[in-house]
Amino acid sequence: MCRFFRYNGEREEIAAMLHEETGLWEKGYSRIAGVDEVGRGCLFGDVVAAAVIMPQGLILEGVDDSKKLSEKKREELYDVIMKEAIAVGIGTIDVKTIDEINIKQASRLAMKLAVEQLDPAPDFLLVDAEQVDLDIRQMAIIHGDATSQSIAAASIIAKVTRDRMCREWDKLHPEYGIAKHKGYATRQHREMLIEYGPTPLHRKLFIRNVMVMQQELF
């Protein structure tokens, strides 16, 4: 089970994940949103971003970069975050748009859409290594999903959301193993691309070089 409690200056190791948030609360910001995305490096499917505002001083034990957590733990924390958060927003950008505007711009647009869904609106953004195109004060933090609880919470929401989408995509294209590798360029995925060719949900700009490289191996 996930435990949560109010920050009171103790439990320093866990409270370290609130270092940035604590400094901002002390400056008078009260609705701090963590923002992160998943699926940026995939060959297949949408890019998904999430924005999360957690209550001031609330510590969720176990929250961390979603990539470091088991699927079971992510699902457990997803439910806790959705229950305890002041607001959660999710933004998705489809493959057609990714191919049109490039993945960097698509990721930033997904983040913008996620933030725009928040109600109440945030007064400060903590963003994982990116800039959100909104007139809201913000800070980009390298590896923020491993150092900020707010960003880590957004990472978990985005990851679980996209993984669930992958399970649905897998039903449409079961031969590719999307539910297993989540659209990343694993050996299995590359081999299936060579055997079956790309689907409409594959990112054309991403798979072009991958397929050339894979063919050179045979």
CB contact at 8 A, 160 and 51? no
- Quote the CA–CA distance of 61 and 19 in Å, as a whole number: 15
Kindly report the number of other CB atoms within 10 A of residue 204's CB atom. 13
Residue ranges at the known binding site for a divalent metal cation: 36-37, 128
- Can you name the residues that pair with 49 across neighbouring β-strands? 37, 91
What is the Cα–Cα distance from 98 to 78, expressed in whole angstroms?
Answer: 26
Instruction: Give the C-alpha separation, 67 to 146, whole Å.
Output: 10
Joined together, the tokens standing for residue 206 give 């991403």
Q: What residue numbers does the annotated binding site cover?
A: 36-37, 128
Please say whether the beta carbons of 113 and 49 come within 8 A.
yes
The one-letter code for the residue type at 6 is R
